[in-house]
Amino acid sequence: MLLALLIAAVGVTSGAIAAITGFGIGSLLTPALALETGTRLAVAAIAIPHFVGTAQRFWILRRHVDRTVLVGFGVTSAVGGLAGALLHVRVSSRALSVVFGVLLILAATSEFTGWMQRVRWGRRSAWAAGALSGALGGLVGNQGGIRSAAMLGFDVRRESFVATASAVGLFVDGARLPVYLATQWREIAAVWPLVLTATLGVVLGTTFGARTLGRVPERVFRRLIAVFLLLLGVYMTLGGGAK
């Protein structure tokens, strides 16, 4: 009962944060569920509420999608997500968590110093970032941080930022979720009450967060993302993403 309440609370919180920043559901819910299931199963199971929350967020903001940025990220993100998911059942990488964490810390530091605002990513860089974020999403369930770090270099407003990040997230979820279901269906089904609780929490949090998005000033929005990147980076570096 206590774990279910924790999952529900984290689900609401992660949904609200993701509605404002464009990511965070997997990063927050996966460690919470891992207390009961272990990280490998948690990554696969949380892909379900992640998909539902991302789809809800995309539908609310679908008119704001930046199609130019989406083309640069979408396909390569899906390919990376599929590759990461196929490796998910075999690979346990502490080193990957450290590298991921360091990259997020550097990205947050760059935003705080203003460097990221002067960067303009080319098509090849966008494809590379998309592939990397997708692969990390498939492998360890953390995709949004790298994607958001790259997207900070594009000239997109907050609604377009979140809408486009959500659209790309759907590409990745569409590639990785079938692999998880095919390889870990029995294990996921065994924890369905917690998965359902997490999903309902994410839906509620997304609804609340989407209403808040338009009230957040542009400068505050970018700093909020940077702070979240920094916190997630420290968490990953200290072993939060190890499997």
Residue 9 CA to residue 186 CA, distance in Å, equals 26
Angle at 194 between CA 240 and CA 62, to 5 degrees: 80
Residue 26 CA to residue 42 CA, distance in Å, equals 9
- pLDDT of 155 reads 67
Question: Tokens at residue 168, please?
Answer: 């790309």
pLDDT along the chain (243 residues), means of 10: 89 86 80 80 90 93 85 78 76 60 74 66 68 75 69 73 86 88 92 96 89 69 75 74 54
Which DSSP letter does residue 236 get?
A: I
- pLDDT of 187 reads 93
- pLDDT of 121 reads 60
- pLDDT of 14 reads 86
- Domain ranges in the chain are 2-240
Question: How far is the CA of 68 from the CAs of 130, 156, 158, 164, in angstroms?
Answer: 13, 11, 16, 10
- pLDDT of 197 reads 97
Residue 236 CA to residue 234 CA, distance in Å, equals 5
- pLDDT of 106 reads 75
- pLDDT of 97 reads 60
- pLDDT of 93 reads 47
- pLDDT of 137 reads 74
Cβ pair 104, 236 in contact under 8 A: yes
